[in-house]
């Protein structure tokens, strides 16, 4: 599927995007907004996935990995998302 990558900080332009990463001042996974620059932001892997032990505050890339990493790894490896191979690799990354 084709996608256009837009580099902008313009709120009106960002409002038209399906997914926004690292800009926009908003973390809202339901709306696919993955920014970590808010003063109030304190999410970690453990706060978002309580079965994971890591408590370091996530970056925008970390947020994307947290939400989509298992799905991407499963697709690339041809393995079940909840399977031991994907789980082990996810935890190592």
pLDDT of residue 39: 93
Q: What percent of the chain has pLDDT over 90?
A: 97
pTM score = 0.89
pLDDT of residue 2: 86
Predicted confidence band at 1 (pLDDT cuts at 50, 70, 90)? confident
Please enumerate in sequence order all residues whose Cβ is within 8 A of that of 60, keeping only pairs 6 or more positions apart, or say none: 21, 22, 34, 35, 36
Six-digit token string for 39: 């003063």
23 phi and psi angles, rounded to 5 deg = -145, 165
Cα–Cα separations (whole angstroms), residue 14 to 33, 44, 50, 79, 81: 10, 25, 31, 34, 31
Would the pLDDT of 51 be above 80?
Answer: yes
89's enclosing H/E stretch is: helix 84-92
pLDDT of residue 10: 97
53-78, pLDDT tens digit by residue?
Answer: 999 999 999 999 999 999 999 999 99
- Answer for the pair 32, 20: CB distance below 8 angstroms, yes or no: yes
Average pLDDT over residues 1-19: 93
């Amino acid at each position: 599927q084709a996608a256009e990558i837009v580099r902008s900080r313009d709120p009106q332009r960002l409002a038209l995007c399906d997914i926004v990463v690292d800009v926009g001042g908003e973390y809202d996974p339901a709306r696919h907004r993955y920014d970590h620059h808010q003063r109030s932001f304190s999410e970690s892997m453990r706060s978002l996935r309580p079965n994971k032990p890591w408590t370091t505050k996530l970056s925008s890339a970390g947020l994307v990995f947290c939400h989509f990493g298992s799905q991407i790894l499963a697709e690339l490896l041809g393995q079940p998302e909840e399977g031991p191979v994907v789980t082990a690799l996810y935890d190592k990354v």
